Amino acid sequence: MKNFLYILAFIEGGAVMCIELCSAKILSPFFGTSIYVWASVLGITLTALMLGYYFGGYLSSKNKKTTTIFWLMLIGGFLVSVTPILSDFILPITIRFNLLIGTIVSLFFFMFFPLFLFGATSPLLISCLTNNVNDSGKSSGTIYAVSTFGGIITTFTVGFYTLPEFGIAKTLYTYGLLVILYTTFLFITTRNFKMPIAIIVLVGLLSYNFHNRFQYENTLYESEGILGQVKVIERYYKEGETFKPYRELLVNNICQTMMDKDNPEKSYWDYVDILTRNINHYKKGNNTLLLGLGGGTLYKQLRKNNLIIDVVEIDARIADVAKKYFHIENDLTVEIDDARHYINTTKNKYDIVIYDLYNSETPPIHLMTKESFKEIKAILNPNGLLIINFYGYVNRSKGKGARSIYKTLKDCDFNTHLIATPGNENQRNLLFMNSPNTLEVKNNNSTIYINENDININDAVVLTDDKPVLEHIYLEAALDWRKNYNEINAKQYLNNYGKN
């Protein structure tokens, strides 16, 4: 029995990490992937485990029955297997709450209780394996080591294989089923199997059939991975008396690319047209590094300008989707890498480097630091151009992030022009046009420049690797951005529930 209990500890540690990782991914299409979402996940995880440890310690002082452990694990496994069903129920309600309340209520509803039960098993396992007081330290260390090892193995397996390959629902269902079946085996082995156990096992086995994640009626592709949810859908817009199809790439339920099916080269984004037009005004060479592919809207426009383009994309799924659904040529070589890592390892020199790197509403904070901008300088030719696409806010608290990027670029001795796309701050983009040398516009154009004297950087901060505060200071802008998209995308997403 001792070895069986060690295997149970291994499975318990894996279950904790499985539901923690999957819960964060469940939230991402509704609340994003910011540090605040992850902080909520970690906070609820630690709270559940803390209370579980205390509860398990209390139970261990009352009895040493292994059946108590089996019951805790069985119910915990059942809750893991039905987590997709519970999240389908609660998220349409909590999406209407603000970020903090919405994430905490959601996590409490579908993540807290299984973690509480798993946490309670560790003290009970230690108690069952301790024969005398001198063995307590050894028993504790062994149980926590085995449990942690299970968590390590599961983290890598779930993060790098089962999530991208099979998705959230199948991952949770499979691991929940593993817990259920193993504890059922232990009940049978110890001759404690009863009818209520059979009922829980049966419902757990059938639970996957009741799961139906919200889907658009015309979902062409959907994938879950450690970098978030990727989805391709088709919609229609009205033009005159007819409806014309267009295709969208969504990452965590935020639109990254829109493509007119009848005219795949057409751009729906103002910033793409303005960026490519201004490249022609500023550029002094054609070698271009595009950081972030998305559905390839910007890439297509750069290609029209006869630029020589290297593309870096962190998510291999995005590269595959762009080629399959968004008319990007199959022979395009896309470097699958983190942009900062590529910048530090490439031997190439570029005339143009473009940041177009949003992951849903989250910009790449590790690429917006003083150290990163200096690394960019090292791969830019002397008259090279660095272009950064960012939120449209520049004033008040929502614009502090943009003002801090501007201040950081100035601190790195970049000459910077700040360009705004048309529209209000919450509807537009900002383009930072930067060069180590003087920026010269070749001819007049209709671009909207923001005057340097109108940018108040007194409260802005110089962003550094040591103090990566950008994610905190752009939060208000990010939440407003996601709120606007949630109204358009997520609620339509929910209204289409059950159409398939």
Got the DSSP string for 424-481?
Answer: -GGG-EEEEEEESS----SS----EEEPGGG---TT-----SSS--HHHHTHHHHHHH
Cα 346 → chain centroid? 26
> For residues 258 and 267, what is the distance between their CA atoms, to the nearest angstrom?
8
Nearest to 228 by CA among 340, 110, 315: 315
Q: What is the pLDDT of residue 483?
A: 65
- The two three-digit tokens of residue 141, written as one number: 């260390």
- Among candidate residues 96, 221, 106, the one with its CA nearest the CA of residue 494: 96
Q: How far apart are CA 227 and CA 255, in angstroms?
A: 15
Residue 359: phi, psi to the nearest 5?
A: -105, 100
| Rounded mean pLDDT for each run of 10 residues along the chain, 500 residues in total | 91 96 88 83 96 93 86 96 92 85 94 96 89 77 94 93 86 94 93 90 84 64 82 82 86 85 84 86 85 93 92 94 94 94 95 86 85 95 92 89 94 92 86 87 64 87 90 78 57 43
pLDDT at position 215: 52
CB 74 within 8 A of CB 66: no
Q: What's the angle, vertex CA 107, arms to CA 101 and CA 108, rounded to 5?
A: 85
User: What DSSP string describes 162-183?
Assistant: IHHHH-HHHHHHHHHHHHHHHH
Do the domains 254-486 and 2-210 match in fold? no
The single-letter DSSP state of residue 410 is H
Q: Give the residue among 428, 95, 474 at the shortest CA–CA distance from 270.
A: 428
- Residue 436 sits at the vertex; the CA angle it makes with 435 and 438, to the nearest 5 degrees, is 70
Contacts by 259-264, CB closer than 8 A, 24 or more apart: 259/295, 259/297, 259/326, 259/327, 261/234, 264/300, 264/326, 264/327
Any idea which residues carry the catalytic annotation? 356
Residue 261: count of CB within 10 angstroms of its CB: 13
pLDDT at res. 484: 63
What does the chain come to in residues?
500
Helix (H, G, I), strand (E, B) or coil at 500: coil
Q: Return the amino acid letter for 330.
A: N
Write down the residue that tokens 């995308």 correspond to: 489
Question: What residues form DSSP beta bridges with 492?
Answer: none
> What pTM value is reported for the model?
0.80
Where do the domains of the chain lie? 2-210, 254-486
* Number of CB atoms found within 10 A of residue 210's CB: 11
Q: What is the structure's pLDDT at 211?
A: 63
- Cα 231 to Cα 250: distance, rounded to the nearest angstrom: 5
Q: 254-486: CATH homologous superfamily?
A: Vaccinia Virus protein VP39 (3.40.50.150)
At residue 236, the pLDDT reads 81
**Tally of CB atoms within 10 A around 235:** 16
Burial per residue of 21-37, b for 16 or more beta-carbon CB atoms within 10 angstroms, e otherwise: bbbbbbbbbbbbbbebb
Structure tokens of 151? 């968590």
Of the candidates 332, 464, 319, 317, the residue with the CA atom closest to the CA atom of residue 404: 464
Q: If phi over 0 gives left and psi between -120 and 50 gives alpha, with beta otherwise, what is residue 8?
A: alpha
CATH homologous superfamily for the domain 2-210: MFS general substrate transporter like domains (1.20.1250.20)
* Residue from 234, 169, 209 nearest 22 by CA: 169
H or E segment to which residue 402 belongs: helix 400-411
How far is 398 from 400, CA to CA, in rounded Å? 6
Q: Give the C-alpha distances (Å, rounded to integers) separating 114 from 13, 16, 81, 212, 230.
A: 12, 8, 10, 21, 27
Q: Are 455 and 403 in contact (CB under 8 A)?
A: yes
Sign of CA dihedral 278, 280, 285, 288: positive
Identity at 466, one-letter amino acid code: D
Q: Check residue 499 and give its pLDDT.
A: 40
C-alpha span between 152 and 177 (Å, rounded): 19
Distance between CA atoms of 119 and 54, rounded to whole angstroms?
A: 9
Listing DSSP states for 83-97 in one string gives HHHHHHHHHHHHTTS
Measured between alpha carbons, how far is 476 from 434 in angstroms, rounded to an integer?
Answer: 26
Contact 115, 15 (CB under 8 A): no
Which pairing describes strands 219-225 and 228-239: parallel, antiparallel, or unpaired? antiparallel
Can you read off the two tokens belonging to residue 206? 């059938």
Residue type, 44: I
